[in-house]
Chains A and B, each alone.
Chain A
Amino acid sequence: MIYFEAFGLEPRLQIDTEDLQQRFYRLSREFHPDRYTRKPVVEQQMALERTSQLNDGIRILKDPIRRAEYVLKHNGFDIGEQRTKDVPPELLEEVFELNEALEESDTTQLDGFQTRFVAMLSASDTELQQRFAAYDLAQSRDELAAIRAILNRRRYVDNLITKIQSAL
């Protein structure tokens, strides 16, 4: 996986972001196009490629969600946007009630939903961390499948929160 390789890292879902940042600075100092102005064109091109890899890479790797999506995609998992429309079964009942509250513009109820969903979000973040650790140990597709399910639910909940906030 090119973005991990660019930083000399093993493809792991758990990352020391401070270490990543330091690697980014060190490699940028070395490969930035500014350092290659007086070099042959081939080397300039290489510097441009490497630096854009570092810049694109750190954007993805330092964010746990995007990092997980990147690893999933690389392992052949579909992480397409269309999945946001499928309501996770465990949320069906809650979403139904939420829609009612939205229709009635019931702010007290909406506040309650928001609190619950935000809590759900942080719960899935904790769960993600555990799954990340499990995957790094076992490198199994089952773990990845579980991670994808959490990500889908997370994205879904995130959209619900946005919806509530714009209604409030």
Chain B
Amino acid sequence: MSTFQIDFGETKRIIGIDLGTTNSLGAFLDLTGPKIIPTATGGTIVPSVVSNIGNEIVAGDNARALLIAHPDLTVYSVKRLMGRGVDDIQEELKLFPFRIAEGSENVIRLKLGDKTFTAPEISAFILREIKRNAEVYFNEEITQAVITVPAYFNDAQRQATKDAGRIAGLEVLRLVNEPTAAALAYGLDKRQNGIIVVYDFGGGTFDVSILKLHDGIFEVLATNGDTHLGGDDIDNLLLQIALEDIATEWSQPEIAKDHQAVQTIRRAVIDAKEKLSFAPEVFVTLEYKGQQYNRAINRELFDKLITPIVQRTLEPCRNALKDASLTHEQIDEVVLVGGSTRIPLVRAAVEALFKAKPHTELNPDEVVAIGAAVQAGILSGDITDKLLLDVTPLSLGIETMGGVVSKLIHRNSTIPASASETFTTAVDGQHNVLIHVLQGEREMVRDCRSLARFDLKGIDPLPAGLPKIEVRFLIDANGILSVTARDGRTGKEQTVEVKPSYGLNDEQVEAMIQESFEKAEEDFKERQVREARVEADRIVSAVEKAKRNEAFWTLPEDERGAIERALNELLVVYHSDDYGLIRIRMEEVDHVTHHLAEIIVNSAVSGVLKGTRI
């Protein structure tokens, strides 16, 4: 691709990460273009599943493998909980086996075995897995990343994603909206100008974005979506039907309470759903504790079942068109993203709505990660001919008299965007003012999403109405809000204390970062000890074997004594945690057995020690 002018030089590498509900992927950009970072098992996908196996937390394939055997120690689809409060997720709790820990009033904590974690911490385990894959692949430390989020994510959900990155030891240089990332991935070799629609139907979220392409500038005109609508919902629909069916067939009315059974059935219906995109009829087949279940499902029935879900994606599409002041005739291209767009009914519905044959050339599972890598290339300066101009998906406002929201920055405003407002006091001598910031399209506070309360502190005591506090609301290129204030009379910066309505405050995130660093050190130490012991085992058994060789008895007595002593000393420290000491004693054994090894090898009496380190 001749458009890339790449000079990686000494600068740090930035990776792109698609942190998905079901699957996550890492990608990077090199001289030949964007590529997916291979996983430990040689695949491309890191399942967004995390499991607590005793003393260790595993993520990805290893965790997914544990989902059926240890559903209580494993968590999936955690993205659904990002930036949300317990009250928001009551619907989710009916369908997902999230185990909410006590003390989740302010921020949701999930039970995972004997530990509890917040959603950003669990996401951090997934990110860390990708970071590690990248580090193995490049053989260098990776500390910077671009992470994708659903376009319709609100401020709290974005902040939670950024927190997850920080906890994982990644500096998140940019949050990019998933549909926009997909457009970047497609735009690489596509048309120079035109209007494109990105329809992104993933595992747990739905987004639609309309973009105008203008000589390398990707300008988002409008975005819309539903952050709780995805393939998960289809799975749950099929799961409920299968559960009812099986409860009757196996005469086990309580089957839905058996977590292992539920996960086995869930796996089976997902397999069937995926196959149904390519075959007119499939079987939901499974075996659990000696019992069999076999049920045919055809495309017609499946389509009927999922029609309401597919319909729910069309309303946001129409709204986005309206916001962009466009009609479907003006759309030049439609791009499909996300695993759920493999479903024929979904494709047909999109085609019917936009009257255009959608693009499906790129792998819908990979296209977002690829786009994130392209954005990483833009940030690193390796790509200079492309630029993304994204928008904020939701209007930002403040609470005014009577619980009414006064909008300051409207939805679909290009970001970074700002708005200023002057506040004053209502009572003589009042020295702080509380500003309640909300996100949403409705008129009333109760119908919008509370983001945070900003406390303007240290206002000079003056008669009511006299202080003039100028407050500036700024949404940055990540879609995240910051608030600054200054005294309009003195021009002095005013302190603003942020009380987020959902999610973690700065101190909590810092504490988690600290903990994860300590944890990383602990992990490192544990691995070192384990490796040292494995090596010690090998040495001890090799020496024991050599001692049985007749050559051993040809050695002078003091030499034999030295070998015995060295071996004993190694065994003494073997169970300690001091891997450095274990290694010193191993070297000692190595040293004193050198002569013995030589004799054995030279006399070719036997090959026992040949090929070993001794």
Contact = CB atoms under 8 A, between A and B. Distances in A.
Given A32-B387, A38-B380, A55 B173 contact: no
Nearest to B219: A25
B284 interface: no
Nearest to B415: A55
A28 B389 contact: yes
A52 B418 CA distance: 6
Nearest to A53: B418
B485 interface: no
A59 B413 contact: yes
A29 interface: yes
Interface in B373-417: 375, 378-381, 387-389, 413-417
A97 interface: no
A59 B417 CA distance: 10
A101 B380 CA distance: 64
B321 to A, nearest CB: 20
A56 interface: yes
B416 A55 contact: yes
B214 interface: yes
Nearest to B378: A34
A55 B387 contact: no
B476 A48 contact: yes
Most buried by B among A28, A37, A38: A37
B217 interface: yes
B11 interface: yes
A59 B389 CA distance: 14
A34 B217 contact: no
A51 interface: yes
Contacts of A55: 413-417
A52 B387 contact: no
Contacts of B173: 37
- Chain A contact residues, majority secondary structure: helix
Contact of B416 (A35, A37, A52, A59): A52
A34 B416 contact: no
Interface residues of A, number: 16
Given A28-B389, A52-B418, A34 B477 contact: yes
A29 B476 contact: no
B477 A25 contact: no
B158 interface: no
Nearest to A32: B387
Contacts of A28: 217, 387, 389
Nearest to B476: A48
Interface in B536-554: none
Interface string A90-131: 000000000000000000000000000000000000000000
Interface string A10-33: 000000000000000100110011
B64 interface: no
A25 B217 contact: yes
Interface string A41-62: 0000000100110011011000
Contact of A33 (B11, B217, B413, B476): B476
B379 A37 contact: yes
Contacts of A51: 416, 477
A54 to B, nearest CB: 8
A25 B417 CA distance: 16
B381 A52 contact: no
Interface in B76-106: none
A29 B413 contact: no
Contacts of B416: 33, 48, 51-52, 55
A66 B478 CA distance: 27
A37 B380 contact: yes
A52 B217 contact: no
Contacts of B255: none
Contact of A29 (B217, B375, B379, B414): B217
Contacts of B378: 34
B585 interface: no
B387 A34 contact: yes
Nearest to B418: A52
B585 to A, nearest CB: 48
A25 B214 contact: yes
A34 B388 contact: yes
A116 to B, nearest CB: 25
A22 B415 CA distance: 18
Contacts of B474: 48, 52
Nearest to B376: A37
B174 interface: yes
A38 B217 contact: no
B473 to A, nearest CB: 10
A48 B379 CA distance: 14
B11, B375, B378, B389 — most chain A CB neighbours (10 Å): B389
Given A25-B214, A56-B418, A33 B477 contact: yes
A51 B388 CA distance: 13
Contacts of A59: 413-414
Nearest to B414: A55
Interface in B423-451: none
A111 to B, nearest CB: 24
B388 to A, nearest CB: 7
Contacts of B413: 55, 59
Contacts of B388: 34
A32 to B, nearest CB: 6
A25 B389 CA distance: 10
Question: Which of A51, A52, A56 neighbours the largest number of chain B CB atoms within 10 Å of its CB?
Answer: A52
A26 B379 CA distance: 18
A52 B417 contact: yes
A43 B474 CA distance: 17
Contacts of B389: 28, 32
Query: Looking at A29, A32, A34, A58, which has the most chain B CB atoms within 10 Å of its CB?
Result: A34
A121 to B, nearest CB: 18
Contacts of B387: 28-29, 32, 34-35
Interface string B311-339: 00000000000000000000000000000
Contacts of B11: 38
Contacts of A29: 217, 387
Interface string B252-271: 00000000000000000000
A38 B382 CA distance: 11
A48 B415 CA distance: 10
Interface of A: 25, 28-29, 32-35, 37-38, 48, 51-52, 55-56, 58-59
What 3 A-B pairs are tightest by C-beta distance, nearest first?
Answer: A52-B416, A37-B379, A55-B414
10 contacts: A29-B217, A29-B387, A32-B477, A33-B477, A37-B381, A48-B474, A55-B416, A55-B417, A58-B414, A59-B414
Given A28-B387, A29-B387, A52-B418, 6 more contacts: A32-B477, A34-B375, A34-B379, A37-B381, A55-B415, A58-B414
